[in-house]
Amino acid sequence: NRGWPGLIENYRAYLPVSATTPVVTLHEGNTPLIPVPTIAAEIGRGVKVYIKYDGLNPTGSFKDRGMTMAITKAKEAGAKAVICASTGNTSAAAAAYAVRGGMRAYVLIPDGYVALGKLAQALLYGAEVLAIKGNFDDALDIVRQMAENYPITLVNSVNPYRLEGQKTAAFELVDALGDAPDWLCIPVGNGGNITAYWMGFNQYYQHGKSQKLPQMMGFQASGAAPLVSGIRVKSPETLATAIRIGNPANWDKAVAAKNDSNGEFNAVTDDEIIAAYRWLGSREGIFCEPASAASVAGLLKVKDRVPSNATVVCVLTGNGLKDPDTAIANKINPFQQGIAANMDAVAAAMGF
């Protein structure tokens, strides 16, 4: 038993690879589906709630699913270098998979708006990290132009192989639950992941693997919610920097996923995001990054509309270790420091 082979091997029949495709993998995917009873109890009415914890991928986010495919196909095509714009997670994944595939990675990030752990990853994997005086939307415009004018492969989610890889998360949900959930709650930034999940659910449904399709419930941060308002946001703002995006590249596909699934887009405030983030950590033992918590914040916001006895899956897209600054700023208990190194002092600090 050689263990989990990675998502390309496991779902090969559903992916655009051949026997000779040079698979670049870190054995991503196969992430846990975790019940969250305190969230379910808050909703009541027999509703079951699960977390798809994609923060347990090799670089700590769902981006690994897309990047194993995008880098594999880039290698197959003979690419020597890849480029992406990123709020942090895409750059970490691109950097890791590129080096594994023997390619250079160039990543453009918004200066000052990438969480510390993500920046550390891209630097350590050996990417060329270029911080620009602009936001994610500006960076994406530039890398699109770069890929048109120079011999370098774009690995943002406008690359169709990214979505092919990411759709496998929907396969894993159906494989684990025995059917699709009734609701899928998911944070939305550029709109790639909601599109990919919807592709995956449909493909599995057509192959008779599930009896139903879920309603796609997409959640954006209220300061960066163009898909909720229908209007591009020039200066998006949210502490959930991963989804600080005003002009989603997959706009039309994300809207189609929402409409075709009879789903909804809703906005959650930064306060609601942080409340869900702290709840997941301190009541369920699950540490995610703030953008990920938008899915749970959103579920709690619209909880009265969840059908009774429904099965709900909230996607947690990224690991909490990505963003230690936000965790420390939102700690649950006072952090007592400078305590004398003897038992009496420790006991006193503990309140005995």
Report the distance separating Cα 172 and Cα 11, nearest Å: 10
Query: Of 219, 247, 211, 212, nearest to 303 (Cα)?
Result: 219
Binding map of ligand F0G across residues 25-64, x = CB under 6 A, - = no contact? ------------------------------------x-x-
Backbone CA torsion sign across 338, 343, 348, 352: positive
Q: Does 192 bind ligand F0G (CB under 6 A)?
A: yes
Minimum distance from residue 245 beta carbon to ligand F0G (Å) = 6
The pattern of x and - marking residues 230 through 269 that bind ligand F0G according to CB under 6 A reads ------------xx--------------------------
One-letter amino acid at 198 equals W
Q: Is 165 in the site for ligand F0G (CB under 6 A)?
A: no
Only one of the segments 31-39, 68-76, 184-192, 227-235 lies at the binding site for ligand F0G (rule: CB under 6 A); that segment is 184-192
Contact in structure between 13 and 246 (CB atoms under 8 Å): no
- Of 176, 10, 155, the C-alpha closest to 97 is 155
- Contact pick of 60, 181, 187, 320 for ligand F0G (by CB under 6 A): 187
Binding to ligand F0G (CB under 6 A) within 312-331 occurs at 317-318
250 is in an annotated binding site: no
Residue 285 is labelled as binding a ligand: no
Q: Is 247 annotated as a binding residue?
A: no
Residue 190 assigned as binding residue? yes
Would you say 121 or 215 has its CB closer to ligand F0G?
Answer: 121
Residues 81-100 that bind ligand F0G (CB under 6 A): 86-90
Query: Within 10 A of 37 (CB to CB), how many other CB atoms are there?
Result: 11
Alpha helices in the chain (DSSP H): 7-10, 37-43, 63-76, 89-100, 116-125, 136-149, 160-166, 168-177, 192-206, 226-229, 251-260, 270-284, 290-301, 324-329, 343-350
Q: Which of 122, 118, 117 is nearest to 107 (CA)?
A: 122
Binding footprint of ligand F0G on the chain (CB under 6 A): 61, 63, 86-90, 157, 187-193, 242-243, 289, 291-292, 317-318
